[in-house]
Structure 1
Amino acid sequence: MTCRHWEHLTTTDLADGAYRNAVAVLPVAAVEQHGPHLPLGTDAILTDGVLDAALQCLPDTVDVLRLPTQRIGLSPEHANFAGTLSFDAETLIAQWTAIGRAVARAGIRRLVLLNGHGGQTAPVDIVAMRLRSEFGMTVVRSTYFALIGEHPAIDARESAFGWHGGLIETALMLAIRPDLVRVGEAADFRSVAEDIAAEHSALRVEGETGLGWMAEDLNLSGATGNAAAATVEIGRTLLNQAAGRLGTLLAELHAFQGIAR
């Protein structure tokens, strides 16, 4: 595998067409509260960590260009917690579209939008469609957490309600940056979404129906999910699963001839 950081190249590297068949990856993340036990940069740290691990899985025949991680995202649901940084959706859509446009102008037609924050899937979807419609690019949108798959520790309750700072994110942080995890502050952060689901047949906070919500609506700590159950061993397994799937995605996109038939 040949991976190059975009900012390490020269303009002539891109102008001569040597990377025309490469897959560009734009990681988009967030800087926002993750409860009392995880750092503000959790989403960016985990997105970069999964991508780093995935790149180690790729064969030498797959060329990847890694664009700079966009660390600040769309986090209005966390705005009432100190430290959260956020752009509005319109700003992000414009910024990410502009980056994609520049990638297209450099002659690169394949792009992965690797999202590390569940609260900004809508802007990612809009950017992917815009880059396809305006520049004819082949754009894949994905989240690292959707690539994790199943694990015995992720039970139905955690899968349904452990959205933020719960077992998955805490375990991954223990595997990637354990020095930033305040283990003594980790707890089982029960979500109000669990109660709403139990009390109603159709009304949900997320799922087939959804409510607009702020993080403190679900748990006053800002976190949801059983962070206390996280271990480094679980985190390493989840990291390997997500990295393996992402590596497969990058390899398949590198060989992909386009959606049009």
Structure 2
Amino acid sequence: MSAKLPRYWAHLKSPDFARLDAARTVAVLPVAACEQHGPHLPLSVDVDLLEGVLAHSLPHLPADAPVLILPTQSVGRSIEHESFAGTLGVDSAALIGHWLDLGRSVARAGVKKLVLLNAHGGNVSTLDIVGRELRARHGLTVWMVHTFGLKLPAEVQALFPPEEHRFGAHGGDIETSMMLALHPERVDMALAQNFASSSQQRAQHYPVLGDGQSAKLAWAVQDLNPLGAAGNAAAATADKGRAVLQASAQVLARLLTEACELAPL
């Protein structure tokens, strides 16, 4: 792909697709959610963090890396948050059909590789289905990538205690810190607190059920904490958020570069 072509799929003109290097080009479908994140954070957290990490990754990409970013999917599967006002959600079957249609459109344009870039835990199982279906039906090489699963350097991980990494699943220290770095005007730290997760107590009393590996609990967020968040949001700082943001962006840029280099399956 010529460096003169835009990074964003929607900014290309239809004839531009004939200029793409089909073997190297990688399309990225950003997937998030619009859902409550406790009393201190806006519904836009997953979209904000997704687009923030992605935007910060672009300067780290080689100029000739043929990466095309599709329109952000800002509403996902959020059934676990539907007890809280404002949460938007789409049924799993409808989402699967919609995302399969988008993948089919990518394949029809001649692109052979697709990254499903996700920032919401509730989308994971749905995206697993979509990725495999796109491989089987349309021959796409598909990676499911989760921003919260990127392997960050040890010094960045050490900014947060082990219990926060394990139990701070939603609106806790990490997400609140990143929001303070990206959009501090949207964060109300006066309402931030240590939203203790019931998962931590279960892990102490039920060492197999609660070991984080042997069993996966099908929870709604109020099962973790009645305020709809889990983790120590009161400990959040913008400095920690910037560190996570920059590290995540660098890892993502390297991941996308490698995806360009790897031949399609």
User: How does the TM-score come out when normalised to structure 2?
Assistant: 0.94
**Separation (CA, whole Å) in 1 of partners of 2:264 and 2:106:** 17
Write the letter of the residue equivalent to 1:238. Answer: V
2:233 aligned to which of 197, 204, 227: 227
Establish whether residue 198 from structure 1 lines up as the match of residue 201 from structure 2: no
Superposed displacement of residue 155, structure 1 = 1.3
**Separation (CA, whole Å) in 1 of partners of 2:136 and 2:19:** 23
Establish whether residue 8 from structure 1 lines up as the match of residue 14 from structure 2: no
User: How does the TM-score come out when normalised to structure 1?
Assistant: 0.95
Give the equivalent residue in structure 2 for 1:218: 224
Superposed displacement of residue 17, structure 1 = 3.8
- Give 1:51-130 correspondences, 5 Å limit: 51-130=54-133
**Separation (CA, whole Å) in 2 of partners of 1:56 and 1:115:** 20
**Separation (CA, whole Å) in 1 of partners of 2:190 and 2:197:** 20
SS of residue paired to 2:67: strand
Superposed displacement of residue 3, structure 1 = 4.4
CA gap 1:92/1:169 in 2 versus in 1, 3 angstroms: same
Write the letter of the residue equivalent to 2:147. Answer: Y
Superposed displacement of residue 19, structure 1 = 5.1
Given that 1:193 and 1:205 are in contact with CA atoms closer than 8 Å, whether structure 2 keeps it comes out as: no
Establish whether residue 23 from structure 1 lines up as the match of residue 60 from structure 2: no
2:184 aligned to which of 173, 178, 189: 178
Write the letter of the residue equivalent to 2:241. Answer: G
Give the equivalent residue in structure 2 for 1:152: 158
RMSD: 1.4
Given that 1:147 and 1:241 are in contact with CA atoms closer than 8 Å, whether structure 2 keeps it comes out as: no
Give the equivalent residue in structure 1 for 2:175: 169
Given that 2:112 and 2:264 are in contact with CA atoms closer than 8 Å, whether structure 1 keeps it comes out as: no
Establish whether residue 246 from structure 1 lines up as the match of residue 248 from structure 2: no
Superposed displacement of residue 258, structure 1 = 3.1
> CA deviation digits over 1:149-168, x for unaligned, max 9?
24222211101100000011
Write the letter of the residue equivalent to 1:117. Answer: H
**Separation (CA, whole Å) in 2 of partners of 1:56 and 1:3:** 13
Give the equivalent residue in structure 2 for 1:34: 37
Given that 1:190 and 1:224 are in contact with CA atoms closer than 8 Å, whether structure 2 keeps it comes out as: yes
Percent of counterpart pairs with the same letter? 45
SS of residue paired to 1:31: coil
Unpaired stretches in structure 2, ≥5 consecutive residues: none
- Identify the range of structure 1 (199-208 vs 74-83) with the bigger mean alpha-carbon deviation: 199-208
Write the letter of the residue equivalent to 2:225. Answer: N
Superposed displacement of residue 208, structure 1 = 2.5
Superposed displacement of residue 201, structure 1 = 1.9
**Separation (CA, whole Å) in 1 of partners of 2:100 and 2:225:** 34
Superposed displacement of residue 176, structure 1 = 1.0
> CA deviation digits over 1:197-229, x for unaligned, max 9?
111121139543122211111101100001111
Given that 2:204 and 2:210 are in contact with CA atoms closer than 8 Å, whether structure 1 keeps it comes out as: no
The 4+ residue runs of structure 1 with deviation greater than 3 A are none
> CA deviation digits over 1:24-73, x for unaligned, max 9?
10000000000011100100110000000111111112011110000000
Give the equivalent residue in structure 1 for 2:135: 132
